[in-house]
Structures are given as structure tokens and as C-alpha cells.
Structure 1
Amino acid sequence: MLTGSRINETQSLETLRGKHSGVLFIVASGPSVGEFPLERYAKYPMVSMNGSICRFAEAGVRPLFYICDDSSFVRNRLPLLQQGIASAQNIAFSPRVIETLLALVPDALVGRSVYGFERVNRPVGGREPMGDRQFAWAARKDADFECHFSLFRQKPNRIGFSRNIDKGYFSSRTIPYTGIQLAYHLGFQQVFVVGMDLDSSKGRFYEQGEDAVGSRLDGDYEDYILPCFELMAKRVVSPAFQVYNLSLDSRLPGTVLPKLSLDQLDALLAAL
């Protein structure tokens, strides 16, 4: 938590746990966002992240949440971050994002509704985090967490899903996964993810040419991204919590997360 004259104390997401229901759209930054008619679904609550906020500005839609956990995005795309701060109903930032932002623009968050969130096993107050294996073993006993565990390899211990984001979230090295954990925490039952193409060669819809910032998606896909989504599909997705991918060309297989066309989306929404 950060306090001081530049920002009121960040609020706890625990106060919003289970307060919502129904449908939520999560809008990421893949190029397929350009093909999604955001305006058509503006009546539904939405989560924006990083640079996807510029699509909301074009559509005149105010997202329920704007989230960011990447301090490099603050440095590289400050105007977009400020756009998200100005237009979203609520903001959820990691401590490093807040610190980086306030160092650049001290009054950036004054008067805004700001929620702090952090990755699992990153305790506040100066306490040291557990080792990955130790944390994963402890998390196996916590009903709010689903995670892998290995005594022999480090990476499996970083694969998981948090049902209570106030206790932290598993990053999966891609922010749409964080958004899905937030959706679960808030109480939504049907989650539709837009622009989750997961292909760094295609870039982000809001960047072009030399303006583009490098992506680590390809390097993280096999080790973190795919395993986290596979775990979520097996242990978290259920009739009470359903997640769909609206990017038909997404790298993530439809066997892991079902892919929907717009016609299929409209039919499903009409049936709810």
C-alpha cells in the first residue's frame, strides 16, 4: 500500500469480492481487437488493460476496470496509461506501476479510485517471499489457489490460478490471464476475452513500425502461458465459471479455451 500526499491509500480488492455477476468482456491488445465491434457490446461491463484503452476511447466506452502490472508500460506508454486512469471507473495497479507513475507524474492518481494488486508470494511490509516450491506447497492447502508443484523443477511452481486476487495473482506472463483472475474474484460467471492472439509476430493493434515495443510472448508461451491456461481449463472452468476466447486465430488451442465467432457469441448471449 502507498500513502502520502500524492495518492490516497490504495483500496483492497477484497471489498469487491463476489459483488458482480453475469457477463464480463476482457479486452487485450492483440490485432484481432481491430475486428471486434466494441460498441455493439457496450452495455456489458468490460476490463481494459495496457494499450487496449485507446479502443475504448474510440468507442466512447468507459471500462469497469483498467489494469496494469508492467512498470515498463508506464515508461514507454505514459499517455495511454493516463488515458486509462482518466476514463475507467476503477483502476487496479501493481505497486511498481504506482511507484513508477508517481515518480513521473506525482498527482496522476489524485481523486481516482485505485485498487492495489500484486503477484502471489510478494508480501508487503518488508517481509521476504517464500521460495517458489515452499509457496506452491503451502498454496496447495488454500482453497483460493490452484497451482502445480514440483520438487525437481522451478517453473511448475509458478503455474497457478488465484480465486482471490486480494491474496495475489499468478501472472502467466500475459496480462489477460490476470484479468481472468480478477473476473473470478469479482464474481462474473461468463468471461469473453478479446484480442488474446498470443502471437508476438502480429504485434499489438495500437502499435506500428518503429513505434512497436518488443514482446516476450514467444519465449514465455510454452513455459508459462499455455500451462497456466491448461491448469485453469482443468481446475477452474466449470458451469459456474466459463471463459471464451473471441480471437479465432489465437495461438491458444480451442481445446484449452473455446473460441467463438461473433455469431456464436451473440447466440450465447441471447441464451443467457
Structure 2
Amino acid sequence: MPPPEKPAMALADCLYRTALLWRGRGCWHWRHYGRHYRAEVRAGGWDVTIERRRYRLRSLSHWLPSGRNVHIVLSGPSISRIDAPDLLLQGARITVNGSFQILADGGVHSDLYLISDVGYVRRQWSSVQAGIANARALAVDHRVALELARRDPDLFDRIPTYLFDNLQRPYRQSSAWWRRFSPAELAMDGQRCAFSNDADIGFYPSRTVAFLALQIAAAQRPRRIVLFGLDLSEGRYYAEATPERSMLQQDYAEYIAPDFRFAADLLRNTSIEVINASLQSTLPGDILPRVDPNEYLKQLPFADAA
């Protein structure tokens, strides 16, 4: 009788992880993929194999036509002060984690639902499902793609999905890989952080999904990016069955504020206008100018509607 398949697979995975130890700490994040995940770059996207099933995922280089307004809808409590969520239709809408709820409550869909935290998928699966149902498209990194496919193998057949590299955990590359780019290819603040507007390279996560969303928006070459709910405080707009722990206050001074200042300085030298539509944001106005979200939305011509 042949040996059971499961123990043999477990042994193979153990050997795979042992081999990674020889590659060094920079490749240890590969353990999350094991032998069950393969991704190859193809024109316009990625060919991905997960648990022997093949998927065609897209590149964020081809998500949105240039010259649009992009509204990044984040999870800060100030988002609840938007009087008419349907006015967010005046730009392409990116939502993250549970922030889609304000759009869903107003009968509005998000254009792109960004998920970068595999832990959030595991702990808040029902919320993730609702966010996907509200979205026209999905954006994930490799690790999240693997987790979603394991939970719902048909998901990527139901919704257009865009795949990107997390530059701190790039697929089949060292965690220091991003430091090897030239300044012409990737804007870097020394060895500390990076800001990418090139989806083919990937995006730097910093310590908040808001920074990741800002890069994805900038990669679309929009006319204007407006961040709603960028409070950077401990609270969240939406209710949680099991409250998620937030590290924003701990990471703010050392990582988040310097990274946003670096990004803002870069974007000032482009044709992209960036606005913080949270009057209670911790981020100073000299980094990103602030506006009242309702005053901003009411003055926009509805001709910009998506």
C-alpha cells in the first residue's frame, strides 16, 4: 500500500523550508508560498498556479485610464462625516479592509478593493467577502492571492483581480530586492523606504495600507488623488465583530509620517494633486493639504462620475 499523500506533502514542505534557510533571512518570506504557488509575469499581468489550478491575474498598470480623479476611501472615523456618500462617484474609488461599508450603505460600489493583510483575511473573512461583493475589481499581493484562492478557489473567475508585488516581501526575490533599483526606476529615501508609481516593479507597504493605496493611485497617472478617512488614529469607521489591533500610534512617528512626507515631496514635482480630506487627521497640513470632505465633494462637477 502506498504511503498516505498528506504526510509526504508535509515532508516535502519541511524540506522546502529547510532549503530556504540556506538562502538567508531575506528569502524566508518565501515559506508562505511553499511549493503550491507559482506566478509568472506575462504581458498585461500574471499567470498564477495555486494548488494546481491556473488563473490569469492582471497588472495594475492597466487598471484605470490616466487623467481621472481617484478617491481613496480609508477606515478613519471621520469618513462617517460624509453627508452624501454617492458624491464619491465623482472619482474612481479605492477601498481597503472594511472601509467599503460607507459606500455599500450609500448604494455605491468601489472600483478597486485593496487587500494587503493576510491576517485580516483570516480574522475578518465575512467582512472581506462583503467587500469583494461591493467591488468591481480586486487588488492583492501574492500572499493574499494564495490565501483567497485557498478559501474560495472560484473567486478569481468571478471578479477581475489585479496582482502586485509587496516590495518588502516580493515573490521569488529577497526582501532587500527593492534597494537594488536605480533612482530613475524607484524613488527611495536612502535605505529606509521607497515610493513606487510603477506597478510592474511593485509597491512599498510602509506601515499602513493608506501608503500602499496612494502608490497604486499614483501609478494610474490621475489628475487628483483625494484620501478620505486618513485619520491615522486608533478608531475605525466600521464595526468589527472582533476588533483589529492597530499599530498606527506606535508606528506613526518613526515610519508613517516620514514616509508620507517623502511621498508628498515626490508628488509635488508631478502633475498629480494630492489632498487629505480628513480634518481630524494626525498628518500635518504641511505634508498633505487638508480640506473638508463635504465641501470638496459638493464643489466637484458630477461630470467626473465613474
Q: Decide: shared fold, TM above 0.5.
A: yes
- Specify every segment of 5 or more residues in structure 2 that has no aligned partner in the other structure, as ranges: 1-38, 40-47
Letter in 2 for 1:96: R
In the alignment, what sits opposite 2:26?
none
Q: Which has the greater radius of gyration?
A: 2
Cα gap change, 1:196 to 1:101, in 2 (>3 Å): same
The C-alpha deviation readout for 1:33-69, integer Å capped at 9, x for no partner, is 1111311232421111111112221111111111010
Q: Secondary structure at the match of 2:275?
A: strand
| 2:223 maps to which of 189, 194, 202 | 189
Shift of 1:218: 1.1
Deviation at 1:269, TM superposition (A): 3.3
Per the TM alignment, residue 83 of structure 1 is displaced from its structure 2 partner at its CA by: 1.8
**Kept in 2: contact 1:6–1:107 (CA 8 A):** no
**Deviant stretches of 4+, over 4 Å:** 4-7
Q: What's the offset of the Cα at 1:142?
A: 3.7
Q: In the alignment, what sits opposite 1:152?
A: none
Look up the match of 1:66.
Answer: 113
1:78 — aligned with what?
125
**Number of residues paired by the alignment?**
254
Whether the aligned pair in 1 keeps the contact of 2:59 and 2:199 (CA below 8 Å) is no
Structure with bigger strand share is: 2
Give distance in 2, aligned partners of 1:190 and 1:268.
Answer: 14
Match for 1:86: what amino acid?
Answer: A
Determine if the alignment matches structure 1 residue 224 to structure 2 residue 266.
no
Task: For 2:189 and 2:129, locate their aligned partners in 1 and report how far apart those are by CA, in whole Å.
Answer: 37
Give, as a single letter, the amino acid of the residue that structure 2 aligns with 1:19.
Answer: P
* 1:28 paired residue among 74, 82, 107: 74
The answer (yes or no) to whether the contact 2:118–2:144 under 8 Å persists in 1 is: yes
In 2: Cα distance, 1:239 partner to 1:267 partner: 26
Does residue 171 of the first structure (1) align with residue 171 of the second (2)? no
**C-alpha spacing 1:205/1:243, structure 2 compared with 1 (3 Å):** same
Per-residue deviation, 1:121: 5.4
TM-fit CA distance, 1:103: 2.4
Unaligned runs of 5+ in 1: 150-156
Alpha-carbon distance in 1 for matches of 2:237, 2:66: 29
Distance 1:199 1:25, change over 3 A: same
Cα shift at 1:73: 0.7
Instruction: Give 1:233 shift.
Output: 1.7
**What is residue 89 of structure 1 aligned with on the other side?**
136
Please give the secondary structure, in 1, of the residue aligned with 2:287. coil
**Of 5, 13, 18, which residue of structure 1 is paired with 2:60?**
13
Q: Determine the structure 2 residue equivalent to 1:154.
A: none
CA RMSD of aligned residues (A): 2.3
For 1:248, the equivalent position in structure 2 comes to 279
CA contact (8 A) 2:87 2:297 kept: no
Percentage identity across paired residues of the two chains: 28
Q: Measure how far apart 1:105 and its partner are.
A: 2.7
